[in-house]
Structures are given as C-alpha cells and as structure tokens.
C-alpha cells in the first residue's frame, strides 16, 4: 500500500479547509453575540457611532421610590448609576445590595446632602464617611462623586482630586425635584437628549412623578435607538468629555483651560480619566 498518498499536498490543503469550515462559523457567531459578557475580561468593541446615554439618580436610596425604579430598570434590562447619600444608604442597606447585584453603578453624593458651602475638611469628611459606609455594605470603593450643591465652589475640585474622585455632572436636567408632572419630565428629557447625554433624575424624597415618568422615558429613548450605559462604562469607552476641555463649565480659577466642545458631562481637573471609574463584573 502506498502510504505517501496520505501526505499529498493537495490532501493536506483539503483537510485544512474542511476543518476551517467547521470551526469558523462557531467562532464568528460567538464574537458577534458576546459584546460584554458578565464575567469576560475582554469584549468586542462597540461601534463608535453608538448612541449611548446614561441614566443617573441622585439623593437616594428611598422607600418605596428606589425599589420601584430598580423594578423598571430590571424590566427593560437597563443599567443606571445611583449617586447615593450616605445617611440614606445606612437606612436602606438592602437597596444598596440590590443595586450592586443587579449590575448598577454607584457614586458618592456626600453623607448628609449639605446645602451650605463646605470647607475642604468638611467636604472630605462627607465623601470619606460615605465611602466607608458603602465599602462596609458592598466591599467596593466607588470612585465617582457628584456634589450635593455648590459644585462650582473652589474646594470641590481640589478635594475630590486628592481623594481620587472624578466629579460627575449632567447634561440633561429635567428639574424633576420641582415636581412638574410626568408629561413635562418626559418632554424635557426627550427634547434635550443626544448621544453622550447624562440624564439627572432623583430617587430621593421628590415624590412619585419621577418613578411614574421613568417607564415612558426609557421606552421613548429605546424607540429612538439609544442604548443605556453606566457612568463607568461611559468613561471607559471615552464617551464623556473632560471638563478641562469645555471652558464654559469651569470655575473662574480654571478658565485658562483650552476651550473645546459645547457640553460637559464629566468634570475632572485633568485629562487622564480613563481609569477613574469603577469596573464591575455584571451579575445579571
């Protein structure tokens, strides 16, 4: 028997093509389906023109408002970012745990939501006290900060920078704390949202109108082909602008920065912000 025929170059090429035909479709299908696996260490890049927006909620958690918001987000499989008040998180540790379990992002919104101006030492105390509480509840240090008031105050940027927190602002603010009604909240968001927008809502003590509007807000944005991302994901994917590049938002002592763009949704005192957000392994 002539065994050399098994090593004929043509047969080797044919075998290679047959094997490739078997494994290639499976490989391609996996690459197309897996965009960001819950426990994956890598992901297929999303298109640059993706219309990503971020839903953010301030002043919570509260009962029953936050739980209802989480129910709606879960229904639509949407992840949001909650800027929590430390004192309220202490009252509702179950809601903090649920936020993390369901894959949401958390940020620091001070401990007592002070409305008066704070010294650097007072602000530092507010941030660190909330951080210690959240770490005790979740085992995670959340490195996002949104001031409760006076974000233009000269102490905010230096203090947050020293503690390693980017200051997160918003570009769509429907003023839901004024309780204008569901229709007005939805209309304001619909009229102002664009790719890259950070939408500021409240899950604190502002009543049920925000909760009642949320279903329609999400439905409308999905219909317009927007996708929802957390703040950490927006930072990671460089879908947010550093404030140092948007002059009009800067306090007076920073107005020598190079102007560029028209909006800002990420407020930081430096350009290197890509690793400042928290990365969470999704659990749902």
Catalytic residues: 58, 202
Question: What's the rounded Cα separation, in Å, for the pair 99 and 101?
Answer: 6
Q: For strand 266-267 and strand 81-84, is the pairing parallel, antiparallel, or unpaired?
A: unpaired
Question: What's the rounded Cα separation, in Å, for the pair 204 and 88?
Answer: 9
3-state secondary structure (DSSP) of residue 150: coil
3-state secondary structure (DSSP) of residue 166: coil
Residue 137, burial from CB neighbour count under 10 angstroms (0-12, 13-18, 19+): middle
Whether cis (ω within 30° of 0) applies to the bond prior to 257 is no
Q: List for the chain the helix, strand, coil content (%; round to 5).
A: 45, 10, 45
**Is residue 250 within 8 Å of residue 243, measured between CB atoms?**
yes
Q: Which residues are registered as beta bridge partners of 93?
A: none
């Amino acid at each position: 028997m002539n065994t050399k025929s098994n090593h004929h170059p043509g047969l080797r090429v044919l075998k290679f093509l047959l094997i490739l035909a078997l494994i290639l479709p499976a490989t391609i299908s996996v690459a197309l389906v897996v965009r960001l696996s819950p426990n994956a260490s890598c992901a297929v890049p999303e298109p640059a023109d993706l219309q990503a927006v971020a839903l953010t909620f301030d002043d919570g958690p509260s009962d029953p408002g936050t739980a209802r918001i989480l129910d709606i987000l879960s229904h639509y499989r949407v992840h949001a970012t909650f800027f929590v008040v430390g004192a309220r998180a202490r009252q509702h540790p179950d809601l903090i745990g649920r936020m993390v379990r369901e894959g949401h992002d958390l940020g620091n919104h001070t401990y007592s939501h002070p409305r008066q101006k704070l010294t650097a030492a007072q602000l530092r105390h507010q941030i660190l006290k909330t951080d210690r509480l959240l770490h005790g509840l979740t085992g995670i240090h959340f490195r996002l900060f949104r001031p409760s008031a006076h974000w233009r105050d000269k102490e905010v940027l230096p203090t947050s920078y020293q503690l390693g927190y980017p200051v997160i602002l918003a570009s769509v603010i429907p003023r839901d704390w004024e309780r204008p009604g569901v229709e007005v909240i939805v209309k304001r968001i619909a009229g102002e949202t664009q790719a890259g927008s950070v939408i500021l809502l409240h899950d604190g003590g502002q009543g049920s109108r925000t909760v009642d509007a949320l279903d329609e807000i999400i439905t409308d944005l999905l219909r317009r082909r927007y996708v929802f991302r957390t703040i950490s994901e927006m930072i990671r994917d460089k879908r947010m602008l550093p404030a140092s590049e948007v002059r009009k938002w800067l306090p007076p002592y920073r107005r020598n920065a190079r102007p560029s763009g028209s909006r800002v949704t990420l407020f930081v005192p430096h350009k290197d912000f890509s690793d400042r957000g928290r990365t969470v392994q999704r659990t749902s």
